[in-house]
Amino acid sequence: MFTKILIANRGEIACRVIKTARKMGIKTVAVYSDADIDALHKEMADEAVHIGPAPAAQSYLLIDKVIAAAKETGAEAVHPGYGFLSENPAFAEALAAAGIAFIGPNIEAIRAMGDKIESKKFAAKAKVSTVPGDLGVIKDAADAVKIADKIGYPVMIKASAGGGGKGMRIARSASEVEQGFNSSKSEAKSSFGDDRVFIEKFIENPRHIEIQVLGDKHGSVVHLFERECSIQRRNQKVIEEAPSPFLDAATREAMGAQAVALAQAVNYESAGTVEFIVDQDRNFYFLEMNTRLQVEHPVTELITGVDLVEQMIRVAAGEPLPFNQSQLGITGWALESRVYAEDPVRNFLPSIGRLVRYRPPAEGTQGGLTVRNDTGVYEGGEISIYYDPMIAKLVTHGPTRDAAIGEMSRALDAFYIDGIRHNIPFLSAIMQHPRWRSGALSTGFIAEEFPDGFAPRGPEGAELETLACVAAAIDHLSNERRRRISGQMQGDPVRFTDLRVVELGKERVALRVSGTLGEPVTVSFGAGNGSARSVTAVSDWWPGDPVWHGTLGGDAISVQVRPILNGVELTYAGIVVPVRVYTEREAELAALMPEKKLADTSKTLRCPMPGLVRAIDVIVGQEVKVGETLCTVEAMKMENILRAERDATVKSIKAKPGDSLAVDAVIMEFV
Amino acid sequence: MKQVVEELARRRANARLGGGEKRIDAQHKRGKLTARERIELLLDDKSFEEYGMYVEHRCTDFGMAETKIPGDGVITGWGTINGRTVYIFAKDFTVFGGSLSEAHAQKIMKIQDMALRSRAPVIGLFDAGGARIQEGVAALGGYGEVFLRNVISSGVIPQISVIMGPCAGGDVYSPAMTDFIFMVKDTSYMFVTGPDVVKTVTNEEVTAEELGGASIHTTRSSIADHAYDNDVECLLQMRRLMDFLPSNNQSGVPVVPTEDRFDRSEPSLDTLIPDNPNKPYDIKELILKVADEGDFFEIQQAYARNIVTGFGRIEGHTVGFVANQPMVLAGVLDSDASRKAARFVRFCDCFNIPIITFVDVPGFLPGTAQEYGGLIKHGAKLLFAFAEATVPKVTLITRKAYGGAYDVMSSKHIRGDVNYAWPTAEIAVMGPKGAAEILYRSELGNPEKLAARVKEYQDRFANPFVAAERGYIDEVIMPRNTRTRIARALNMLRSKTVESPWKKHDNIPL
């Protein structure tokens, strides 16, 4: 076994690998760029080597630097993680030349599977089912119909030189093929100057399901069942699960067998993933094979109990797999949510900056439910522009899919991040989505269910009472405590009414609240109409705590709390709502207040300070979204980034880099 | 007997109606609450005791003898906010437009006198049309008497003014002499002379909002300390503010029980200062992570944002925070920032509120605009205020403390009690580049040599230890332990006493 390994990666995956190495008693070496001087993976490793400036092309992608770092520290093997150099055959070759072990498959396998044509050939040889089609060039419409008839409808006509949907046609009948063939051909001609087209089977409402395989240097290959990754946004996976709610035992076995056959065809001897698309009749077709550890590997680990990183290291060191196929099974259900630094409300625009607050949910197993959070960041850390915007992978496991979803919802509710925008409300909204819960998925799920993008919703039905309870408990605690302020009048203490009106966005809920400081709060509804119900809210929440953890009538619940003027903003199950708790009289008077129109935002960007224009980041006519960088002004030797305060279009730009501006000088105007 | 009691009830009901239903509705239509509704929101439930309910004016000119309304346009009395006594007067716009008569002024004076005698704060709610013209000089006299009481009470009891409607002419000077002024957006304005007079005298066309609306007074004139969206929001925030303020200059600060531990560690503060010295960071993150429960009541949030001032608590006790804000103008001290902070520091000192100062200041803002505008004297105000303050003063230098601004920002030399620095602190006469360019003027043509000089200066002074070696810094602390260290320092200083030489009063450079 190795005594020291280097991890040629950063972020959560580097941390993930270090954890297992540490468990195995192996020393670890991290590499880091200028942007990662304070990064978690650098802190966690036993040693760390600086390998260059922030851009990956000048650091994490430099084979020489990584190998030099391994030599310098005496690392005997390198784990590449995913991305960066993980599927680069040149890297594996260079390591071999340097006499350092690569914790991954052999070079030929990487090369074969990295090539689209080559991998299809291997797949065909291993009798893996591929998307039916004819890669040959089609002569005329009649020829096209003939081929389409053979493949079976529907089919997709694609431009050979294609891309971006140009020259693509779906045809469901012979006549549509004729039409589609001609229009596709002319469109291909005009778009690419190349009118060659080919025909492939069109998979309707496909699901993305992949098989995890694991091989050793002694010829054994097993599969560790499937993962379904159909919840994607623009080909970016968002939520993954294992097993798939769609596969039956026969399909699972067939897919597993094909995946193993393909792996064996390339003498696979590490962890890898064979990706398939599956149509709604459970026909599956080979897509590609990833010759590395996959981002979503934790869900497989949780249902099989196998530490994939550990097995990768062991097989790389020449150990045989400690199990055979019959010893592997599926236990329970696991889900993974990818927490990204992107703003779901603003078309998933990336968000960078300081993690002012970062409080992930508690990890561990309790009552058969597991929460795991793979992350590479910490509170006070920085999300930089240079790398992947993934903050964390939140993984839950439970005996059933419903249990795993329930646990994921709770874990997301408890996941508190401030300082940057993130997609947790969006992930929570998916967890609540009936179609997701029913398992009726396809890769079009997000596009179909969120056609106009995402906006957090307000509370409805029972959620109104739930959030009203939490808000009332929070308000009651704050009041009770404030009323213990020193310097009060002697004698009869001031009494406060216990009737409250909770304003949640535009909704109002009347309730009665009681309980002394340090004891559970009792909230009653419907006191007026004779159908009073009481809910006991138990929590050790204290003002300043970011998350209200507690029970309502015995049910555990986590709600995020952010102070706003005279109230709190609550975040729960994809809901984000401002809440104010009023006495009846306050509510009556608040109702008299006119609704404020949004403040008139100025149509000009003015220089907020005397300074030097460093950069103008937009051009005339450009549409800018709120928060987008408009320009940088240097004042007192400090760079100040001026951002758009609302969505707008740039009408004119009055300043240029190098200009010295007075305060309030107009920099640009908006339409 | 019963008849007499009924008569009382009738008179009360009559007085409570103020200017009548119609005027109350009109008030609501303008988006404003009535004076009584405002008092209800501001004070604890049923705690208001009204005095002077039956007072009527004594004017007989211009037919005024026939129009008398009990209360005469102002509601006065006292009540409690979370059990603590406050005195209150609220102008009633439904009665003679809230205008000030001799009798109206006397009601306010009575409240001011009682508040001073019993050492409790006064809150005035303004929504009025100025002096009652029918009364002439009697009204002016009334103003003067109110002003005098504002001055006598100043520094003894907190005085708060909330502008919730028009406030013009003679009405503006009473708020101007109180400790804090708050406004309500869109419904309130303040000016000495209104748009009509402005037009007549200077030919300038201007609306009331442009002349003295909340946005002007919170961002440009600095007259108002904050503005709120509406009456309800504003008054509930006034309750919050009063929980921070002492009742008088001898009561000590109020204490609110908390479970936020004094030794709460904040590891994320270790990375608050960016690696690049030219990159800004938000000093409010430090304030929010140090203060109890992240609760911070900011004063003058929209004005001179290069310095942050406001109230928070440490271990339940009120403190005042003063902090340079690197996010705005690199946190430089200019005239506006100096005046803003100076006034805040003096308020804290008046009422025994300890001052916590966070320093990241590149110096004073250079330029003709500043110098012509009297930067020397405005900067001196802050220096004076910090130096004369005898309350506990804990200072933390997070990054830059350059030049004279270092001295000003509650340094050891002007009686800072405990002066901390983070390891990232740089205490020097100026930045390394500027210093090297002056020291090695002859090498200016040689960028390589100069760079070496800059590095030399940086290595020597871009750290807190040169100052610590001289004792100007008491201790260099781990950023994550900032709350603990400040809490312990404040605890240690709780019975701080300073003897000052007898003087009538000082002569701060106004």
**Confidence at residue B408, expressed as pLDDT on a 0 to 100 scale:** 97
Of chain B residues 438-497, which have a CB less than 8 A from chain A? none
Structural domain that includes position B240: 2-244
Q: What share of chain A is helix, strand, coil (3-state, %, to 5)?
A: 30, 35, 40
Same domain, B229 and B285: no
What's the CATH number where B396 sits?
Answer: 3.90.226.10
Domain-embedded: residue B328:
yes
Is residue B233 domain-shared with residue B290, that is, in the same domain?
no
Note whether B269 and B289 are within 8 A (CB).
yes
Structure tokens at A198: 């080919």
SS3 of residue B13 by DSSP: helix
Q: Are residues B236 and B288 in the same domain?
A: no
Q: pLDDT tier at B146 (50, 70, 90 boundaries)?
A: very high
Residues of B with catalytic function: 169-170, 404-405
Phi, psi of B436 (to 5 degrees): -65, -35
Reply yes or no on whether the pLDDT at A509 is more than 90: yes
In whole angstroms, what is the distance from residue A124 CA to residue A262 CA? 9
**For residues A120-132, average pLDDT:** 87
Looking at residue A533, its pLDDT comes to: 86
* B213 shares contact with chain A (CB less than 8 Å): no
CA separation for the pair B351, B174 (Å, rounded): 20
Residues 162-191 of A with CB under 8 A from B: none
Q: Which band of pLDDT confidence, cut at 50, 70 and 90, is reported for residue A436?
A: very high
Q: How close is the nearest chain B Cα to the Cα of A663, in Å? A: 11
Same domain, B192 and B51: yes
Q: B510 lies in a domain?
A: no
- What interface predicted TM-score (ipTM) does this complex get? 0.93
Asked if residue B439 belongs to a domain, the reply is no
Whether the Cβ atoms of residue A161 and residue A196 lie closer than 8 Å to each other: yes
Mean pLDDT over residues B461-483, rounded?
94
Considering only CB atoms, which chain A residues are within 8 Å of B311? Answer: none
The three-state DSSP-derived secondary structure of A124-162 is HHCCCCECCEECCCCCCHHHHHHHHHHHCCCEEEEECCC
- Where b means 16+ CB within 10 Å and e means fewer, B226-265 reads bbbbbbbbbbbbbbbbbbbbbbbeebbbbebebebebeee
Considering the entire predicted model, what is its pTM?
0.90
* Mean pLDDT, chain B, integer: 94
Average pLDDT value over all residues in chain A: 91
Packed helices A401-414 and A424-432: angle between N→C axes, nearest 10 degrees = 150
Q: What is the mean pLDDT of residues B440-444?
A: 85
Residues B102 and B182 in one domain: yes
Judged against a pLDDT cut of 90, whether residue B275 lies above it is answered with no
pLDDT mean over A457-467: 93
Count structural domains, chain B.
2
Q: Say if residue B227 is in the same domain as residue B272.
A: no
pLDDT of residue A252: 96
Question: Least CA distance to A637: which residue of chain B?
Answer: B278
- The predicted structure's pLDDT at residue B252: 94
For A47, counting Cβ atoms within 10 Å of its Cβ (0-12 exposed, 13-18 middle, 19+ buried), the class is middle
Helix axes B231-242 and B35-42, enclosed angle (nearest 10):
40
A47 - beta bridge partners?
Answer: A29
Average pLDDT, stretch B499-508?
Answer: 94
Quick one: B198 and B71 in the same domain? yes
Task: Tell me the per-residue pLDDT of A591-613, one tens digit each, with 9 for 90 and over.
Answer: 999 987 665 556 888 887 767 88
Instruction: Give the lowest-confidence range in A280-289, A341-350, A536-545, B278-287.
Output: A341-350
The pLDDT assigned to A11 comes to: 95
What is the mean predicted confidence (pLDDT) over A645-660? 85
pLDDT of residue B436: 86
Q: Does the pLDDT of residue A528 top 70, yes or no?
A: no
CA–CA gap between residue B170 and residue B146 (Å, rounded): 10
Residue of B nearest to A357 (CA): B268
Report pLDDT digits (tens) over A617-636: 888 888 888 878 888 887 66
On whether any CB of chain A is under 8 Å from the CB of B85, the answer is yes
pLDDT recorded at residue B79:
96
Of chain A, the percentage scoring pLDDT greater than 70 comes to 96
Cβ contact B268–A355 (<8 Å)? yes
Please report the pLDDT score of residue A162 as a whole number: 60
Confidence of residue A21 (pLDDT cuts 50, 70, 90): very high
Q: Confirm if B101 and B91 have CB atoms less than 8 A apart.
A: no
Q: Which residue of B has its CA nearest to A542?
A: B259
If asked whether residues B140 and B42 sit together in one domain, one would say yes
Neighboring chain B residues of A581 at a CB cutoff of 8 Å: none
**Interchain CB contacts (distance < 8 Å): A and B:** 146
- Give a yes or no: residue B21 inside a domain: yes
B221 and B299, same domain (yes or no): no
From CA A237, how far away is CA A295, in angstroms rounded?
Answer: 9
Higher-pLDDT residue of A143, A375: A375
Is B398 within 8 Å of B422 (Cβ atoms)?
A: yes
For residues A119-146, give the mean pLDDT.
Answer: 84
Which pLDDT belongs to residue A330? 97
Q: Are A623 and B343 within 8 A, CB to CB?
A: no
A494 to B243: CB separation less than 8 angstroms, yes or no: no
pLDDT recorded at residue B160: 98
Q: Does residue A409 surpass a pLDDT of 90?
A: yes
Read off the pLDDT band of B176 (50, 70, 90): very high
Give yes or no for residue A225 having a pLDDT over 70. yes
For residues B214 and B304, membership in a common domain is answered with no
CB of B24 less than 8 A from some CB of A: no
B444 within domain boundaries: no
Render pLDDT for B358-402 as a digit per residue (tens, 0 to 9). 999 999 999 999 999 999 999 999 999 999 999 999 999 999 999
A164 has pLDDT over 60: no
One domain for residues B124 and B40: yes
- Given A37, A380, A487, which is nearest B275 (Cβ)? A37
B14-27 tens-digit pLDDT:
888 888 899 999 99
Structural domain contains residue B449: no
Q: Is A544 on the interface with B (CB under 8 A)?
A: yes
Q: What sign for the dihedral angle of Cα A309, A314, A316, A320?
A: negative
Least confident of A342-351, A398-407, B207-216: A342-351
Residue B249 lies in a domain: no
Length of chain A counted residue by residue? 671
Name the strand (E) or helix (H) holding B338.
helix B335-350
**Chain A 443-482, residues with CB within 8 Å of chain B CB atoms:** 481-482
Rounded to a whole number, what is the distance in angstroms from the first to the last CA of chain B?
61
Does residue A165 register a pLDDT over 70? Answer: no
Of B47, B247, B256, the CB nearest to A481: B256
Same domain flag for B277 and B183: no
Is B53 inside a domain boundary? yes
